[in-house]
Amino acid sequence: MNATAAALPEALQGKRQLGKDEAFRFGCHPGVACFNRCCADVNIMLTPLDVLRLARRLGMGTGEFLERHTLTPITKDLHLPVVMLRMGDDAARRCPLVGDKGCTVYEDRPWACRMYPLGMALPPARAGIEPEPVYVLFEDDFCRGREEPSEWTVARWRADQKVGEREELEAGFRGIVSHPWFIGGRQLDPKRIELFHTACYDLDAFRRFVFESSFLQRFDVEEPVVREIEASDEALLRFAFRWLRFALFAEPTLPVRARADSSGRTS
């Protein structure tokens, strides 16, 4: 096993790695015998955009969605919290978002569902080196989609599933989870872990933090940015990633307003 393979998450180890132009066959539609089989008893990690779009699709606030539909497993191996989709309580542990005719939130399905049968991981951060994604192919025994005639490459599949458009929105998130600050096993304290979870996943709570606290008095946020994040969930999510680099790693991504003391002088 090479160093890159050893660094993959446990769920991706032992899977066949694919280059971006390496071909694989796959198709999924109601005519495939295993249709919806992969939508049960599975661990689906949700990205911040997944949580936001699913909450809005279901007509919920992000806090309600997190409480009703997710789990946050705690393990000593993770330096940041992850959010997972909660499976159903039935014996098959079916995804609660899947109906008899398939996914009921298909247009807003999670990143992991779009990527299947591919998986992706970012290697651990190294100083001065931008991590290159590693792609693997899931070849589950039950999946008959591998027998379909359609042939894909990683690049073509990602384009077909519109993965790149979503990842562009979350570029700041990937910059945080693969940040060089974590080199050597450094860990965030509980307060900063809570900040990360709120800003990334509970966007409605983060909105209240920005607009209902002294946040805008403490930080010199550009007026056009303030207007944009008031009007757009996605703009607010990008801003959350920007603020987290300040809050977690003390990077100068947000200027702090000068404070006047009792004599009127600024500091």
Q: What is the pLDDT of residue 128?
A: 62
What pTM did the predictor assign?
Answer: 0.88
The amino acid occupying position 192 is: R
Domains of the chain, residue spans: 3-177, 186-249
Mean per-residue pLDDT, 178-198: 90
User: How far from each other are the two terminal CA atoms of the chain, in whole angstroms?
Assistant: 55
Q: Is 237 helix (H, G, I), strand (E, B) or coil?
A: helix
Judged by average pLDDT, the poorest of 50-54, 119-123, 223-227, 242-246 is 119-123
Q: Quick one: which H or E segment has residue 118?
A: strand 118-121
pLDDT digits (tens, 9 = 90+) for 49-90: 999 999 999 999 999 999 999 998 766 666 788 999 999 999
Phi, then psi, of 30 in degrees rounded to 5: -60, -20
Query: Which residues have a Cβ under 8 Å from the Cβ of 159 and sit 6 or more positions away?
Result: none
Distance of CA 24 to the CA centre of its chain: 25
Does 6 score more than 80 pLDDT?
no
pLDDT digits (tens, 9 = 90+) for 164-173: 888 899 999 9
Does 261 score more than 70 pLDDT?
no
* Residue (of 88, 86, 249, 241) closest to 171 by Cα position: 241
